[in-house]
Amino acid sequence: MRKTRAFTLVELLVVIGIIALLVGILLPALSAARRQANALKCATSLREIGSAFQMYAMENRGYWPVAKTNDNYRLTTPTRPPTDLVQPQYWQAFLAKYVARVKQGLGTSTADQALAQKSVLWGCPSWDPYIQGSVQVQSGYGMNAFPEYTANFPTPQGPPNDLPKDTVLGADNQPLSRLAVVSALNGSDWGNIIGGKWYKQKAWTKPAERALIADARFWLLEVQAAPMNKVLPGQSIVQYQVTYADSANDGQTLYDFYRHGKYPKIASGSGNNARYEAEGGKIAFNVLFCDGHVATLNLREDGYRAGRMRFPG
C-alpha cells in the first residue's frame, strides 16, 4: 500500500504561526473598515434627521423644534384616555413622527419606544442609546440650542485667559457668570436645563458653518468657550454630565470627539472629573450642519467653531 506522509509538528507550528501573523495584520484593517462603515451609517442617519427638521419647519411656520420644552407638553391633541406622553419634551420627540411609524412624539407605549429606537434618531451604530431616568433620551446625538452665538458674541477674553467661562461684563462693569449670560440670552435658565426657547430656522445664521446636531454625549450640544491659550482639556468620560456641572469644565464640550476614531488613554481624575488624555487617540466625529450637509470632522477646533462660531474664546 502507498504510504501518505503526515505533517510534522514543526510544519504545523509554521502554518499556525503564518495564520496568526495574517490575522494580526488583517484585524486592524478590518477594525478600521468597520469604524468607517459605522461613520457612514451615522452620517446617513444625520442627513435624514436634517430632512426631518425641514419637514417640521414646513408644518410649523418656519420654526424648528425646541431642544427641550419649558414644562410638561402634549404633542398630540387630548384623547380619552390619553395615549401620548405628557411631560417635558425633547427635540427627538418632535421629529419622531417623520422618521418612525409612531403617531406623534415617542408615545407612552413600549411599542412606540421600540419603533422610535429603530429609527435614525438612534442612528449611530457606534453608540449605545439609553433613556436616563424616565424622560431624558440619550440617543447619541445632541442639538445645538444656542443660535445666538457669533464670532463676536459673547465677547471673547484676551490672554491671559483669567475668565474662561463665556465672560461678559454687566452694567456694573463686573463679569457676569455664565449662567447669568445664558439666562439673559434665552429668557430662561439654560444653565440648569429647565427650559428652552423656540426659534425660527432662520435664527441659525451661517447655516453652512453652524452645527445643528452632532455626535454628542448628551441630548444637548453644549460647547464651553475654548481657552484663549488654545490648550484644550481632555474629553470627559461621563456620558450624561452637562459641562456646567463639571467642576473642571474650562473649555469642555459635549461632543463625542473620538466616536468614529479611537479613544485615547484615560487620564487622572474620577467621577464627573474623569478625563481622557488630551493628546493621543484618533479624532473623528460627525456633525449635521444647519444647511443639511453632514461632515466628519477630525479636529476638535473645528467642533468649537461649529458650535460657537469661533475658536478660541
pLDDT per position as a tens digit, 60-118: 999 999 988 877 777 776 666 666 677 788 898 889 889 887 655 665 555 556 656 67
pLDDT score, position 245? 65
Task: Round the average pLDDT of the chain to a whole number and report it.
Answer: 79
H helix intervals, 75-159: 91-99, 110-117
pLDDT digit string (tens) for 31-64? 778 888 999 999 999 999 999 999 999 999 999 9
Helix runs in the chain, H state only: 9-59, 91-99, 110-117, 178-186, 300-308
Query: Where does the pLDDT of residue 286 fall: very low under 50, low under 70, confident under 90, or very high at 90 and above?
Result: very high
DSSP lists the bridge partners of residue 109 as none
Sign of the Cα pseudo-torsion (302, 131, 125, 41, in order): negative
What confidence tens digit (pLDDT) does each residue in 268-284 have?
777 767 889 999 999 99
pLDDT of res. 134: 58
Residue 200, pLDDT score? 92
Whether the predicted pLDDT of 133 surpasses 70: no
State the residue for C-alpha cell 402634549: 74
Q: Which three cell numbers stand for residue 2?
A: 502507498
The pLDDT, as a whole number, for residue 165 is: 41
The pLDDT value given to residue 187: 37
**Longest CA span, the chain:** 106
Question: What pTM value is reported for the model?
Answer: 0.79
Q: Which of 116, 169, 167 shows the shortest CA–CA distance to 139?
A: 116
Per-residue model confidence (pLDDT) at position 150: 87
Q: Enumerate the domain spans of the chain.
A: 10-162+197-313
In terms of Cα–Cα distance, which of 120, 97, 146 is closest to 254? 146
pLDDT at position 4 is 60
- Per the DSSP assignment, residues forming a β-bridge with 295 are 287
pLDDT tens digit sequence for 237-258:
888 777 766 656 678 899 999 9
Tens of pLDDT, residue by residue over 155-209, are: 765 543 444 444 444 444 444 444 444 444 443 333 344 456 789 999 999 999 9
